[in-house]
C-alpha cells in the first residue's frame, strides 16, 4: 500500500510537469501563465494574447468554435474550455479520449478564486494558487 501511495504521488508530479495543455479561454491562459505553467500550453485561441508569449502558441480556433482535428493533432492531456465552447466540439474531444474541463465565466471574486484554485489543482500548482489568492485577498483588505 505504501509503495502504491509513493507511486501515485510521484506519477502525479511527473504528469503535472509534462502536462500538455490547450486553453480555449484568454482568462484561463493568463491563469496558467500566472501559475508558472505557460510552457505546458501547446495551443490556445486567437484571442489568447496575454502574456505576449501566448501569442506564439498554436492557434486552435476561438472561444466558441474550435478545430477539433488540430487539437487532437497537438496530443493534449487536457483541454480547458468554457461553457461557450461548442458542445458538439466538447463531445467530440471527449469521444477522442481527451480530458476536457469546462469552466463558466465567473460572476464575483469568490467564484474567480475558486476557478483559479481548481486550475491550479489540475495543473499541479495548487499551493501556488493558494498563495496567490492569499496575497490578493490581503491587498483587497488594505
Domains of the chain: 17-106 (3.40.50.1980)
Average pLDDT value over all residues in the chain: 91
Locate 127 and state its grid cell. 499551493
Q: Is 75 left (phi over 0), alpha (psi -120 to 50) or beta?
A: left
Closest CA relative to residue 32, chosen from 13, 45, 46, 51:
51
Mean of pLDDT values over 27-51: 98
Report pTM.
Answer: 0.86
Mean of pLDDT values over 35-59: 98
Top pLDDT among 3 and 71 is at 71
Q: pLDDT for 82-109, tens place per residue?
A: 999 999 999 999 999 999 999 998 999 9
- 76, 43 Cβ separation under 8 angstroms: yes
Top pLDDT among 105 and 67 is at 67
Note every long-range contact of 27-30, with CB atoms under 8 Å and residues 24 or more positions apart, other chains counting: 28/80, 28/82, 28/103, 28/119, 29/54, 30/54
Mean of pLDDT values over 45-61: 97
End-to-end Cα distance, the chain: 47
Model confidence band, residue 17 (pLDDT cutoffs 50, 70, 90):
low
Closest CA relative to residue 98, chosen from 123, 127, 69, 119:
69
Measured CA to CA in angstroms, residue 26 lies from 13, 61, 62 at distances of 26, 12, 10
CA 84 to centroid of chain Cα atoms:
15
What pLDDT, on the 0 to 100 scale, is given for residue 78? 98
Report the percent of the chain where pLDDT is more than 70.
Answer: 88
Report the percent of the chain where pLDDT is more than 90.
Answer: 85
Element spanning 121, H or E: helix 109-122
What pLDDT, on the 0 to 100 scale, is given for residue 142? 84
What pLDDT, on the 0 to 100 scale, is given for residue 18? 87
Amino acid at each position: 500500500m505504501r509503495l502504491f501511495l509513493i507511486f501515485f504521488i510521484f506519477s502525479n508530479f511527473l504528469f503535472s510537469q509534462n502536462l500538455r495543455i490547450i486553453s480555449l479561454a484568454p482568462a484561463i491562459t493568463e491563469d496558467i501563465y500566472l501559475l508558472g505553467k505557460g510552457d505546458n500550453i501547446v495551443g490556445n485561441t486567437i484571442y489568447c494574447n496575454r502574456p505576449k508569449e501566448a501569442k506564439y502558441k498554436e492557434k486552435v480556433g476561438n472561444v466558441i468554435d474550435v478545430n477539433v482535428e488540430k487539437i487532437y493533432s497537438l496530443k493534449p492531456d487536457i483541454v480547458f474550455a468554457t461553457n461557450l465552447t461548442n458542445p458538439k466540439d466538447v463531445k467530440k474531444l471527449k469521444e477522442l479520449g481527451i480530458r476536457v474541463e469546462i469552466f463558466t465565466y465567473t460572476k464575483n471574486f469568490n467564484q474567480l478564486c475558486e476557478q483559479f484554485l481548481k486550475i491550479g489543482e489540475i495543473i499541479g500548482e495548487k499551493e501556488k494558487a493558494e498563495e496567490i489568492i492569499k496575497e490578493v485577498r490581503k491587498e483587497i483588505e488594505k
